[in-house]
Structure 1
Amino acid sequence: MVEPIRMFPCTIDQHVAYCSFKSLTQIPDFPNDIIEIDLSVNNITEITEYSFPKLDSLTVLDIGDQQTKFLIVRQNAFRNIRNLQVLSLAGNVNLILSPDAFVGLLNVRYLNLLYNNLNESILEGEYLRDLVSLETLDLYGNHIQRLRPNSYFRRMTNFTILNLKLNQIAQICGDDLLHFRGKNFQLLSLDSNYVGKMESTPTFWEECGYPFQNVNFEILNLAGNGLDEELIRQFVSSLRGSYIQGLILNHNSVGRSFGFNNSRDPSGETFDGLSQIPIIALDLSNCFIFSLEPYVFKSLHELRVLQLSFNKINQIQRRAFEGLNNLQVLNLSNNLLGEIIPNDFYGLQSITTIDLSNNNIGGIILTTFNKMPFLRELNLRGNSIRKFEIVATIPSLQYFLLGDNKLDSSVQLTDVATDSIFVDLSENRLSDLDVFFKMMADGKKEFILLRHNRLSYCKGSSNIPENNSLIHLDLEDNILELVWQRGTCLHIFHKLGKLEKLRLNQNCLRSLPSDIFKGLISLTHLNLSSNFITYLPKGIFPETLKTLDLSINHLLSPSPDAVSFIRELYLGRNNYICDCSLKEFILWLQNSNSTQDKQELVCAFPENFINVPLTSLTTEGCEAEDVAFVMKVQLVLFVGTTVLISLMLIGSVTFTRFRGTCFRIYKTAFNRLLGSPGSEPGQRDHQYDAYICFSNEDFSFVEAAFLKQLDSQFSEKNTFRVCFEARDFLPGEDHISNIRNAIWASKKTICVVTREFLKDGWCIEAFNMAQSRQYDELKDVLIMILVGRIPQYQLKKFSPIRTFVQTRHYLLWPEDLQDMEWFHHRLACLILKQKTSKSKENVSEDVSLSAVKSDSAVP
């Protein structure tokens, strides 16, 4: 490689001289073989015929932006560089040109006179007469007030581009463009001039005539001229006799959304003056159009491209596009459309692309588009679509863009874009991966974008055909971790044999399920960045993978085995633990060129290694690791684990077999240490401590299981006064009154629910009355004991019991003798316990004691 030559004050490299920002006041000498010279941003004030030596090879010269008050270009200033092709004097705000300044520049093709404070004399005078090869003239940002080119422009047969943007041209009339006639311009830019200040009277335009007659344009730019509807109508009439392919009218004042109703929307007569001109493209973007009136474009029969973006369009009147039989591209993006209904696009028989992005569309009837046989692209991004009002097939649709809407997983796409190859559903509210499987059912999709959704659920169904065409799948910014945690949709990629690019970044992934990438035999690019992955199993990635992004994860000590074959790897911004466990990775990193972001691989732990680059670490001290020490540690861990597991098993078996004894020991120790809490009822506010409600058929069971264990009259060791029907009900008294008196005279009501209890109407009534008292006093005064294996559906037949079971704790009668003492202790505690009931009951779990048998017969 040839080193640049540094000659004061410029640098020359490959025959190009770089002299900008050197504070030069004169032009230095240059070698004869120089091709390009950059002298911009210096302090040169004058260029004369002696400023340049003879430089026959020089083709490009830039003397723009001199930091002086003026730049004078004298006569024959460029006589020694006659082969010059590109000349820039741009940015010299006070450029003073001699009429003979450009004499001899017969080969100049591009002349840049941007921001030179020039007036119309540059075009009307003799300054440019020798530039017979001129193709492009840039007069951007000068002070030209009229456009009347000199006759020598006829000799410039290659002259096709004239930029007059940001000048002061107010009108073009009559024979102003006489010497442009017969020319074929690629571009004439009158952008941001004063054409909008032309008179709008019919008399003026009749006198003005047709200045553009016999002047042909690929593009005529009249943007930013303040043209309203009337001026556009009159100006386009003056274009009669010319040939124009593209007309740019953007950034004008046309449309009734401008000002206070001082302007009108284009009407059916606005573009009548273009009826004889085969306009192919019309740009009306960035205007103030509110409504597309009927037949507004009827005169533009040859129009192929119509730009209406960034207006205020809220209405599309019937037959607004009538006459546009050849239109192929329609851009209505960034407007105020609220809905799309049939006949909005009537007449667009040849349309291939419709852009409706960034409107306010909430409702859309797809039958609007199903009669467009050539429609290939429909862009509905950035709207408020929740669903399709009427679903219809769009036969030729290839690109269906629905991103940034409000679609949820119920959206029907199967019948809309059956032949589409590109579907964009990003930035919506999709939560079910079923939408992906539905789109893949036809096997024709090549690009599917589902990023920035809420995909976190999957039914597990898959109808993806084996020969599908998908090559790009974007699932960025979803919650696939929840899907794979449930063990669902682990097969999602198995049939995607042609997939080349897969984006799974920002999915909260903590690990990668085994075989998740099975079947991706063509995958070359995989993005897993911005997740929480801590471990990479060996063989998890397909061997075809070339680019893998694992940056911004939680890889602490990654093994190089999983990624060693990948050519382009990104592993930056992970939390690396810099100890000997990272030895293999560091050795691989030092010998591999695949990691593209090595500068971002830094230590996160230990503290004295924080932010130390991994590339600066060595593995000294890790090679001679003490194998004996490792074996000792392994032995200790093995023995300790074995002993711990054995103790746990012995403890579990012992407790299961002797849990009754364990409870008695616990109770005895508790009483000795803290003192016996006793089971005395204390101050009696009620006649009875408990009323036991049961079926008479269960008397023998209740007597053995409850009365003998609780009632003080059955045993002196019992401390509770218990009420039950056979002993305490008053003979001759109304039975319902006896029940009511027993409930209200008792601190708690105990209902022993058996199969016989459910058959006894008085028992059910007693249960209901006890529950009513509970609601009145807002206290837990009802204790339910379920005896026997009674199905839930039988309990729920009775409304009071159903309500209690669903909202309250209840006890189960134990089936094992060793659980009896615990059960009676628990029952005694519930009788003594004073607990306020919540006014709004919360559903709680049943208190289920160990299910074991009693020595008493259970009904």
Structure 2
Amino acid sequence: MPDLGSCPPVLVSLLCFLLLQHSTWSFSLKNCTISDSDDENGNDVYVSCDYRYLTVIPDDIPQNAVSLNLCENHITRITRAELRGLSKLVTAQFDVNRISAVEDEAFADMVELRFLSMNDNKLTNLTEKMFQGLSKLEELYLSDNEISFLTPRAFQSLPRLRSVGLTNNYLSKMTDIHPILKLPALISLQLAFNRLEYFQTDRIPVKLSNLTYLDLSLNFLRKFSITRHVFPNLSSLVFNECGYNIQWDVKNKTFLRSLTRLSLSGIYISFDSYRAILQTTSSLKQLEFSNMKSWLDQGLVETACQIPSLRTLVLTGCSLKTIDDKLLQSCSQITHLNLNFNSLLEMFEHSLQSLTQLRILSMSNNELSKLPVTIRGISTLEVLDLSYNSVKELDCLDFKNLTNLTSLNLQNNHVSTLQGCLFENLKELKELNLRLNSLDFVGNAFKLNLQKLESLNLDKNDFKAIRDGDFRSLFSLQELNLQTDDSYRIDHEALEGLGNLQTLRITCPFLTVIFESLQSLQNLSIVLVFNDHHNSHRRDDDSPFSNLTLLKRLEIKKQTTDKGGTSTDLLSGLRSLEFFRAENFFKESVHLDTFRFTPKLKNLQIVHSDLSDLTPELFWYIPDLKELDLSNNKLKSLDFLAQAKLLALSVLKLSNNDLSVINETVFQFLPALRYLDLSDNPLTCECSNSGFMQWIQTNNQTQVVNGYQYICAFPVRRQEEHFLDFDVHSCWMDRSFLCFISSTCLIMFVLLTSFIYHFLRWHLTYAYYLFLAFLYDNSRKKAGTPHRYDAFISYNVHDEAWVYRELLPVLEGQQGWRLCLHHRDFEPGKAIVENITDAIYSSRKTLCVISHHYLQSEWCSREIQMAR
């Protein structure tokens, strides 16, 4: 930003006016924010304007934007003028607004657009030129509108359109969807929840379609008819809740020979009709039944499993309480069985024994209290999901024969103990999820088993302690989650044996050296929860991470309220650290040498820590820092940034601090700054912030996030006003400069006055009286006043005797003149100057008696000057 301090005020005013008039020059958008771009040059920007209560599209969207999000607003109309110039836009979202009209060719400038979503609006029809110009559009979503009519040529300008979503609209006839089916590149069509009564290929005006996915759910169809080979590539058909007594008319099996996935739910037709449907879909690989218990009881599963190609069977939401030995007896070819969201209480002992090829079994969200015995015999099983059940106990025989199991999910059950023999046969297990259970001790479950386990999640349990060697055999473990809501005792060698661990999330009472053996660790998240019950002698180790030379990401969150200090060697050894987040950890201050061991740090977050002041030396050890988050502290000044030497810093977050006055000059020392967040600070709307206000509006590099929504906190009379609405014109003139000019002018005036009084006062006095005489003369000439005297005698008082004895007898006595003498004819009480002026102008002549005294007299000099 140029230095405007030396510019004339008029020039400053003009410059600021021009900048304010051209809002596209401003990098801080009035109603939107710009998200971080992966583009190193910063040419591509992602604009978010969601949840802003907007009624129109903002006019300051950057023309190099590639993504625009305007969801959750109150926009009612889209015009071409509002979207003009957005030629680089690739994705645009207008979901959840009140859009009822789109002007023709409104998107004409968006020539690069690939994705357009206008779900949940008030559109009623699609006009011929609505999508004009979108020749590269591939995905269009218009669900949850009120569309009842499509102009026949509505999609003619969309040759690359591949996916169309029109769920929950008012389309009622086949002719309504003809414009869509004509699209040459169409592969996915969502027509669920419309008013279609018939779907018949003989009414489709195309010979061949590339459609692969079709959703006709919730349409209450009367007839589904395929009489021509129109959909040779159709692989997925969703046919849920499609009405009563639907007529399925697919006479030739080859018409659906590509169909591999079929979803059926709640269609109230006869069992024979279901059988007919399944007989015409002989290539199915995945079949989904939902809310169809009565037909399952009649043998629908048996009919389905007669399809030789079937591999995935989904029976969700069918209110199954038990699985007997007959339900799945004919499904030997099934490899994936999904029984989620039923009400399963038990399964018969041999209910799954016929599934000799089963690899994936999902029984999430049921009511099982123990593992069904039938699972024990499925030696082919690779993935088992029993999450969100009520399993309390696990027996050593439960997994005895599951030797090929690679993933086991027992999340959100009531398991309290793990026996040492529980996992001894799971030689291939790689992922184990025991999150949200009631475990208090790990026991011996991991000391001798699970050598191939890579991921173990024990989050949200009730651990009392983690003991030495609890994970001794987990040589391959890469990810371990031990975070809980309360602290627990951790023995010194509790994590021994985890030499390949890369990610660890743990809850500790204090920082200890238990991490010293984890030399491969790259990600560490620690929650500090102090509990007197577990640790009566609390002491943080000075260098708890000294051996973690490969650690790249460290997060520490303290849930206690103590204000204990931290060691200067806290981060000792972390020479590879790139990300560090400390929440409620540092209290009021951070030691100057804290980051001397982390020269590669790029992202630093110190939040909720009550920091009131920082020194620039703190950041001298981390010159490559790119992101700094100091939100939710008590900072009152940003002066520390001026000497922090953060030349690479691009993102600065300072929300929820105590910043009231911000010196914009500190940002001159952050040349790479592109993103600045100062939300929820008590900003002062006075001239002390005028420079910062001007910087927000004129800088073309740094985005001040939501800058136009900042609210004044001070003074009281301006509270609740917008920060940038403050008129800074009165602040542009430098007060000290104004005082200088005023005092200089006053001094010059006094000097000039003194000079004139001393050297020129008589000249000015004469000039003044001459001017009065000139005015008087003009006025008398205009009035035509006659002379009263023949002559005015001008003499000095010392010559008065001569005038009376010699001059007066001759001129008045002998010549008969009428003379004007000052002692005789001047009007008493009148100013002397006015009397002289009247005497001169009342006489035809002025007679001066020149003598030595006359020449020395001030009044005589004035009289002769006036007369002359």
Q: Which bracket does the TM-score occupy, shorter chain normalised? A: 0.5 to 0.7
Listed one character per residue, the Cα deviations across residues 303-347 of structure 1 (whole Å, up to 9, x for unaligned) are 111000001111223311122110011000101112111223342
1:566-605 correspondence runs (5 A):
566-578=649-661, 583=663, 585=665, 588=668, 593-598=673-678, 600=680, 602-603=682-683
Partner of 1:287: 366
8 Å contact kept, 2:397–2:422: yes
* Equivalent AA in structure 1 for residue 428 of structure 2: S
Q: 2: CA distance between counterparts of 1:98 and 1:148?
A: 10
Q: 2: CA distance between counterparts of 1:168 and 1:490?
A: 72
Listed one character per residue, the Cα deviations across residues 62-99 of structure 1 (whole Å, up to 9, x for unaligned) are 48357659445389777865664443433213444455
8 Å contact kept, 1:78–1:102: no
Relative to the length of structure 1, the TM-score reads: 0.60
Q: 1: CA distance between counterparts of 2:141 and 2:416?
A: 54
Q: Cα distance 1:424–1:78, how it changes in 2: closer, same or farther (>3 A)?
A: closer
Q: Cα distance 1:512–1:615, how it changes in 2: closer, same or farther (>3 A)?
A: farther
Within the candidate set 390, 402, 416, 1:312 is matched to 390
Q: Cα distance 1:459–1:625, how it changes in 2: closer, same or farther (>3 A)?
A: farther
Q: 2: CA distance between counterparts of 1:96 and 1:155?
A: 18
SS of the residue corresponding to residue 189 of structure 2 reads: strand
Within the candidate set 308, 313, 336, 1:215 is matched to 308
Q: Cα distance 1:325–1:163, how it changes in 2: closer, same or farther (>3 A)?
A: same
* Equivalent AA in structure 2 for residue 268 of structure 1: E
Partner of 1:725: none
Q: Cα distance 1:342–1:624, how it changes in 2: closer, same or farther (>3 A)?
A: farther
* Equivalent AA in structure 1 for residue 549 of structure 2: N
1:95-134 correspondence runs (5 A):
95-98=197-200, 100-104=202-206, 106-119=208-221, 121-122=223-224, 125-126=225-226, 129-134=229-234
Q: 1: CA distance between counterparts of 2:369 and 2:318?
A: 19
Listed one character per residue, the Cα deviations across residues 774-833 of structure 1 (whole Å, up to 9, x for unaligned) are xxxxxxxxxxxxxxxxxxxxxxxxxxxxxxxxxxxxxxxxxxxxxxxxxxxxxxxxxxxx
Q: 1: CA distance between counterparts of 2:145 and 2:341?
A: 36
Query: In angstroms, what is the RMSD of aligned CA positions?
Result: 4.2
Partner of 2:520: 444
Listed one character per residue, the Cα deviations across residues 444-472 of structure 1 (whole Å, up to 9, x for unaligned) are 32222112523995354547555732222
8 Å contact kept, 2:454–2:479: yes
SS of the residue corresponding to residue 347 of structure 2 reads: coil
Q: 2: CA distance between counterparts of 1:340 and 1:138?
A: 43
Q: 2: CA distance between counterparts of 1:56 and 1:528?
A: 50
8 Å contact kept, 1:170–1:194: no
The question of 1:408 aligning with 2:491 is answered: no
1:199-210 correspondence runs (5 A):
199=297
Question: Following TM superposition, by how much is the alpha carbon of 1:558 offset from its aligned partner in structure 2, in angstroms?
Answer: 2.5
Within the candidate set 633, 648, 654, 1:553 is matched to 633
Question: Following TM superposition, by how much is the alpha carbon of 1:360 offset from its aligned partner in structure 2, in angstroms?
Answer: 1.4
* Equivalent AA in structure 1 for residue 104 of structure 2: F
1:764-775 correspondence runs (5 A):
none
Q: 2: CA distance between counterparts of 1:26 and 1:460?
A: 68
Q: 1: CA distance between counterparts of 2:635 and 2:181?
A: 68
The question of 1:356 aligning with 2:434 is answered: yes
Q: Cα distance 1:417–1:525, how it changes in 2: closer, same or farther (>3 A)?
A: farther
SS of the residue corresponding to residue 375 of structure 2 reads: coil
1:305-704 correspondence runs (5 A):
305-388=383-466, 391-392=469-470, 393-396=472-475, 397-422=477-502, 424-426=504-506, 428=507, 430-434=508-512, 437-454=513-530, 457-460=538-541, 462=543, 465=546, 468-478=549-559, 482-484=563-565, 489-507=567-585, 509-541=587-619, 542-559=622-639, 560=641, 561-562=643-644, 564-565=646-647, 566-578=649-661, 583=663, 585=665, 588=668, 593-598=673-678, 600=680, 602-603=682-683, 607=715, 613=723
Partner of 1:235: 327
* Equivalent AA in structure 2 for residue 222 of structure 1: L
Q: 1: CA distance between counterparts of 2:515 and 2:485?
A: 18
* Equivalent AA in structure 2 for residue 14 of structure 1: V
Q: 2: CA distance between counterparts of 1:493 and 1:369?
A: 31
Q: Cα distance 1:481–1:584, how it changes in 2: closer, same or farther (>3 A)?
A: farther
1:696-775 correspondence runs (5 A):
none
Listed one character per residue, the Cα deviations across residues 584-621 of structure 1 (whole Å, up to 9, x for unaligned) are 75564897734421455552686468787599887975
Question: Following TM superposition, by how much is the alpha carbon of 1:536 offset from its aligned partner in structure 2, in angstroms?
Answer: 1.7
SS of the residue corresponding to residue 395 of structure 1 reads: coil
Q: 2: CA distance between counterparts of 1:620 and 1:531?
A: 40
Question: Following TM superposition, by how much is the alpha carbon of 1:370 offset from its aligned partner in structure 2, in angstroms?
Answer: 2.5
Listed one character per residue, the Cα deviations across residues 418-461 of structure 1 (whole Å, up to 9, x for unaligned) are 325245454x4x33222xx2212442322221125239953545
SS of the residue corresponding to residue 514 of structure 2 reads: helix
Q: 2: CA distance between counterparts of 1:7 and 1:65?
A: 23
Partner of 2:67: none
The question of 1:8 aligning with 2:104 is answered: yes
Consecutive unaligned residues of structure 1, counting only runs of 5 or more, are 256-264, 627-859
Q: Cα distance 1:154–1:622, how it changes in 2: closer, same or farther (>3 A)?
A: farther
Question: Following TM superposition, by how much is the alpha carbon of 1:282 offset from its aligned partner in structure 2, in angstroms?
Answer: 0.8
Relative to the length of structure 2, the TM-score reads: 0.60
5-14 or 278-287: which moved more? 5-14
8 Å contact kept, 2:418–2:445: no
8 Å contact kept, 2:434–2:457: yes
Partner of 2:775: none
Q: 1: CA distance between counterparts of 2:653 and 2:663?
A: 19
8 Å contact kept, 1:446–1:469: yes
8 Å contact kept, 1:254–1:289: yes
* Equivalent AA in structure 2 for residue 239 of structure 1: C
Q: 2: CA distance between counterparts of 1:145 and 1:412?
A: 69
Q: Cα distance 1:511–1:563, how it changes in 2: closer, same or farther (>3 A)?
A: farther
Question: Following TM superposition, by how much is the alpha carbon of 1:563 offset from its aligned partner in structure 2, in angstroms?
Answer: 6.0
8 Å contact kept, 2:438–2:461: yes
Query: With CA pairs under 8 Å and 6+ residues apart, which has the higher RCO, 1 or 2?
Result: 2
SS of the residue corresponding to residue 198 of structure 1 reads: helix
8 Å contact kept, 1:82–1:106: no
Question: Following TM superposition, by how much is the alpha carbon of 1:522 offset from its aligned partner in structure 2, in angstroms?
Answer: 1.6
8 Å contact kept, 2:515–2:544: no
448-457 or 52-61: which moved more? 52-61
8 Å contact kept, 1:138–1:162: yes
Listed one character per residue, the Cα deviations across residues 16-45 of structure 1 (whole Å, up to 9, x for unaligned) are 798985654575367698565766666665
Q: Cα distance 1:29–1:209, how it changes in 2: closer, same or farther (>3 A)?
A: same
Q: 2: CA distance between counterparts of 1:372 and 1:589?
A: 54
* Equivalent AA in structure 2 for residue 178 of structure 1: Q
Sequence identity percentage? 17
SS of the residue corresponding to residue 225 of structure 1 reads: coil
Q: 1: CA distance between counterparts of 2:201 and 2:149?
A: 15
Q: 2: CA distance between counterparts of 1:532 and 1:513?
A: 14
Partner of 1:253: 343
SS of the residue corresponding to residue 504 of structure 1 reads: strand
